[in-house]
Structure formats: structure tokens, C-alpha cells
Amino acid sequence: MHNVVFITGDGIGPEITQAVQQILKAAGAPINWIPAKAGMGAYRELGNPLPDETVELIDKHKVALKGPLETPVGGGFRSINVTLRQRFNLYSNIRPAKSLPGINSPFTHVDMVIFRENTQGLYIGQERWVDKEEHHAESIAVVTREASERIIHAAFQYAQKHGYKKVAAVHKANILKLTTGLFLNIAREIAPQYPDVEFRDVIVDNMAMQMVMRPEQFDVVVTTNLFGDILSDLASGLVGGLGLTGSANIGDKHAMFEAVHGSAPDIAGQKKANPSALLFSSLMMLDYLGEHETSKKIHAAVLDVLKYNLDACTPDIGGKGDTFTYADAICLKL
């Protein structure tokens, strides 16, 4: 049995986490769920979006599966997602986007994995007003050699381990010469240590265009925090939307698994949310825990349902069903 801290999250969180728990149970995954609270729900209930108890539980059990957390826009508290990634030094944010059978999308051969540096960049949110009138704001981006080296090595090692032939480093070193320039130079330095992996670098604006024109040219992509955030939503769009892409936040000692998407307030409470994204995140978790057979079994069941029973699936991918008819169809396959 593996102890896994389980955070339901906000918005569509309760629906998709329930569906995922149901599917993992049907597959016989040996997980002992340890419930914990975080996000807007915790803030409303306890006046604290990240109770100490939650941090202690993650620290103790090392692995967490987390529903999306709502972060107030503009003012309010700091993102709990970002806080957790930094607190546990979850420096690799791994976001695969792969074309799936049965899904109507303009592309059929996308198979890319984005490695997003998860602790630095502009995402540290170190901002300040320059003037009293609050007409002039500044934001600091941080890039260090140490953090860049570890994410870039992680990307190359992942490529080798999973049979991907290419790694692309994405940057804006023509303009942000120090921060993303440092990141690029380190990637260039490290690439020759992996002679069996083809390396190239791409400037981020061109990358956005390349991804929507010829996404099949990319295998593993490694980039800084904000670019990785944006490009991973783009990659989700290439394979059928945010309802379909999972993600892992991995450090040396802890790991937290969550969907790429957020709390989707526009569809919350309506059973419209696609549980696949969080389910795929939970399969990354099972692989991380060494439960490869269970992970494969669930993956096969999902592909089967997408291929032969799309009607049972959620509306975002052309289904006529809801979160739970989809989950039930997967459980039936299992």
C-alpha cells in the first residue's frame, strides 16, 4: 500500500477527484488516500489556503494527488500551487501531450513532453510598485545555474529513458539575454553529454508557431517556468484540450501530481468536467510509485473507451455523457 495525500481542490476538483478515485479503486491500485485541504475551499473554511497540517502530511508521505486550486486574480493570496512547488522543491514539471484515438483534433501525431522549470523564472511573483500612484509595476525573473542544470538533465534523461530522440530548449535569449540566455547556454553545455539525443534550441515565439503548424517535430521540450506554463496549455490544445493532459511535479524527495488545467469555474458542479487529465496525472503517479501494470491497465481502458464508446465521455471531447458516465465506462472496461 502506498500512502498518498489527496487534495480535492476547487471548482471541478470534487467531481474529477471522485471519478479518479473510483477508477483507481476499480483497477485495484494499492493506494491509501490521506485527505488534506488546500486552496480557496480551505481558505473559506479555515481562513488559510494552505493549512500547516497539509504541508506536514505531504512532507511525511512524500506523494500527493491534487485537484486544481483556484487562485485569486490580481490581489488576494499567493498561488498555493506555486507555494507547494517551491516548498517541496518540485523542480521538474513534466507535461506530456499525446494524440489519442477517437479524439477529433487537427493533429494525429503529436507526442511531446514539456519539461517546465518549476521553481523560478517570472513565476516567483516578486513584483513591486515603483511609484506611490501604482502606475508603474516591476517584476523580477530569477534563473540560476543549479536549477537550470537539474531540469535540463532531467529532460535529457527522460528522453533517453523513454526512447525520445530529440530535446528542444525553448528560450527568449535574444531579448532576455541574462536569464533565459543563461538557461540556453547551460542547455548547450549539457547537450553533448547526451550524444544519442538530438538537441536544438527554439525562440519561444517561433516555438508557438511551430507547435501549431508542425507539432510532430517535437519530442521533449525543456524551458523556463512561464514559457512552460503557456506552451503546455498550447500543447493540450493540440491533442484535444485541457481535459486530456496530465502533469507531474517532481523533486528529489517529494512528488505532486495534478492536471495541467485549473479549477474551470465555468463548468464546475455540472458534471461536465473531463476526468482524463487528472486520471493521466494519477497514472504518472502510479508509474512513479512503481505500479506500472496498474497504470498500463487503466491507460488501455481509457483508450478503449475513447475509441469505442466516445458517447459515454464528456462534452469537451465530443461525448454525450458526463464525468461519471465516462468514469463508469472506464471502470466497466477494467
Return the residue matching grid coordinates 483508450: 303
Span of 131-139, 173-181, 261-269, 287-295 interacting with ligand NAI by CB under 6 A: 261-269
Q: Copy the grid coordinates of residue 15.
A: 467531481
Spell 139-168 as b/e; 16+ CB within 10 A means b. Answer: eebebeeebbebbbbbbbebbeeeebeebb
Which residue is closest to ligand NAI by CB?
262
Question: Given the complex with Mg ion, which of 69 and 301 has the nearer CB atom?
Answer: 69
Span of 43-51, 92-100, 121-129, 255-263 interacting with ligand NAI by CB under 6 A: 255-263
Residues touching ligand NAI, count (CB under 6 A)? 20
Site residues (CB under 6 A) for ligand NAI, limited to 315-334: 316
Span of 24-32, 111-119, 265-273, 303-311 interacting with ligand NAI by CB under 6 A: 265-273
Quote the DSSP letter at residue 242: G
**CB 280, CB 130: distance < 8 Å:** no
Spell 12-33 as b/e; 16+ CB within 10 A means b. Answer: bbbbbbbbbbbbbebbebebee
- Residue 229: which of ligand NAI, Mg ion, none does it interact with, CB under 5 to 8 A by kind? Mg ion
- Residue 70: which of Mg ion, ligand NAI, none does it interact with, CB under 5 to 8 A by kind? ligand NAI
Alpha-carbon gap, residue 263 to 267, rounded angstroms: 9
Question: Given the complex with Mg ion, which of 229 and 258 has the nearer CB atom?
Answer: 229
DSSP 141-185: EE--HHHHHHHHHHHHHHHHHHT--EEEEEE-TTTSTTHHHHHHH
Active-site position among 123, 158, 164, 326: 123
Concerning whether 333 is annotated as a catalytic residue, the answer is: no
Q: Which of 41, 49, 68, 228 binds ligand NAI (CB under 6 A)?
A: 68
Q: Is 81 in the site for ligand NAI (CB under 6 A)?
A: yes
Question: Given the complex with ligand NAI, which of 64 and 242 has the nearer CB atom?
Answer: 242
Question: Given the complex with ligand NAI, which of 29 and 242 has the nearer CB atom?
Answer: 242
**CB 219, CB 165: distance < 8 Å:** yes
63-66 and 255-259 as β-strands: parallel, antiparallel, unpaired?
parallel
Alpha-carbon gap, residue 13 to 182, rounded angstroms: 37
Find the shortest distance in angstroms from Cβ 39 to ligand NAI: 8
Residue 190 Cα distances to 158, 219, 238, angstroms: 14, 17, 29
Question: Given the complex with ligand NAI, which of 160 and 325 has the nearer CB atom?
Answer: 325
Q: By C-alpha distance, which of 116, 118, 136 is closest to 127?
A: 136
**CB 166, CB 218: distance < 8 Å:** yes
Find the shortest distance in angstroms from Cβ 93 to Mg ion: 9
Find the shortest distance in angstroms from Cβ 188 to ligand NAI: 31
Give the chain's end-to-end CA distance (angstroms, integer).
20
Q: Which of 243, 251, 319, 321 binds ligand NAI (CB under 6 A)?
A: 243
Find the shortest distance in angstroms from Cβ 245 to ligand NAI: 9
Q: Is 229 in the site for Mg ion (CB under 5 A)?
A: yes
Alpha-carbon gap, residue 128 to 253, rounded angstroms: 33
Q: Which of 167, 264, 285, 305 binds ligand NAI (CB under 6 A)?
A: 264
Concerning whether 304 is annotated as a catalytic residue, the answer is: no
List the catalytic residues.
Answer: 123, 172, 205, 229
Residues forming contacts to Mg ion in the complex (CB under 5 A) are 229
Residues found near ligand NAI in the complex (CB under 6 A): 12, 68-71, 81, 242-243, 258, 261-267, 273-274, 277, 316
